Structure 1
Amino acid sequence: MRHPGVPFPRLPLPEANRAGQGEDMEAFQHWLNEAIPLVGHLGLKRMYWQHESLIWELALGPNLNDKGTGFGGSLAAQTTLIGWCWATLWLRAHQREQDVVVAKAGQRFLAPVNGNYRLECRPRDEDGPQQLDARLKSSGKGRLALVQQLFVGDSLCLEAEGDYAVLPATSTP
């Protein structure tokens, strides 16, 4: 059981590899469900990498609104969270134990979400991860802009963007 003000223990870092490819995604998802209790209620069925995109497959049922479509607040939380996961997994793949926080996020709802759906998250700029890596090496902190898109089948229903800050590493006594 989680308690306010008490950080959840980190997962051991995976072996060094490219953008999350060495991560056991099932273990990460299990850890995520415990570390952030809300995750267990969002209908997240599966997460995986496809090239530079993190993909989530989600069930609509836990995210319904009063109209029988996707609840905007739930969908907004999911877009923010998948971005946090992208940045966290990228750091882990680069053997960095640093905290990620969302600095800014926004969404644009394009169509009702009326079935199970998938969220895709990727860097806004192709060289964003390389720029982040350079900033982390020079100052120990940095920012990364990520975009998220929600699809029901082939229909784009939501576009979002988030700016994620990587905080300086804390020293351990």
Structure 2
Amino acid sequence: MDLNALKHKLHTQIPLTKFMQIDVKNIEDNCLITTAPLKPNINDKLTGFAGSLSTLVTISAWSACYLNVIKLGFKEDCMIAVIKSDTAYRAPVTKELYCKTILPSKEQLQTLKRKLQEKKSASIRIKSQLLQDDKVCVDFEGIYVIKI
């Protein structure tokens, strides 16, 4: 699946992502890059709204899971859900929301594939960060369960 197809899926199946204007930019240095403009995601202090920041890191990590499940050869209609997450807000976001999500390692993907084949269910831990001028503004770690 290409990244434009993922963006279309998000915008049509999760309407909030379209309202937030989330964009699936590219994959670089084993990270999925997603962005959103500040204007539709702003709060009364003229910084990024915590709910928008949380949504972007959560959906970006979900997207990393989704892309890899497809890459492993499983169907697009599998169930992926965050079951636990931890988000730390370290600094305000005053520019475009820029998220880097670390893609799973080859070892993580091998374990994931084996568990999905054997048990039809598995979980994986994904980390995302919102960055501004190379400074971490939001740290996120989520555990996603996948059922095929």
Q: If the length of structure 2 is used for normalisation, what is the TM-score? A: 0.90
5+ unaligned residues in a row in structure 2: which ranges?
none
- Moved beyond 4 Å, runs of 4+: 123-126
Distance between the aligned counterparts of 1:116 and 1:164, measured in 2? Answer: 26
Are 1:36 and 2:2 an aligned pair? Answer: no
Deviations 1:115-158 (A, max 9, x none): 11310111577732222122112212100000011011211101
In the other structure, the counterpart of 2:107 is: 127
Assess, with a 3 A threshold, how the Cα gap between structure 1 residues 35 and 68 changes in structure 2: closer, same or farther: same
Identity %: 27
Larger mean Cα displacement after TM superposition, 49-58 or 146-155: 49-58
More helix by share: 2
1:105 aligns with 2:85: yes
* CA–CA distance in structure 2, aligned partners of residues 125 and 96 of structure 1: 18
- Would you tell me which structure has more strand in proportion to its own residues? 2
Amino acid at match of 2:65: A
Instruction: Work out the CA distance in 2 between the residues paired with 1:45 and 1:130.
Output: 28
CA contact (8 A) 1:43 1:61 kept: no
- Residue 54 of structure 2: aligned partner: 76
Task: Answer yes or no: is the 8 Å Cα contact 1:118–1:151 preserved in 2.
Answer: yes
> Contact 2:6/2:24 (CA < 8 Å) preserved in 1?
no
CA distance in 1: counterparts of 2:80 and 2:27, whole angstroms: 19
Taking the TM superposition and a 5 Å limit, the aligned residue runs for 1:7-46 are: 23-46=1-24
- What RMSD in Å do the two structures reach over aligned CA positions? 1.7
Give the number of equivalent residue pairs.
Answer: 146
For the pair 1:152 / 2:128, whether they are aligned, the reply is no
Unpaired runs of 5+ in structure 1? 1-22
Deviations 1:13-38 (A, max 9, x none): xxxxxxxxxx2211221122001111
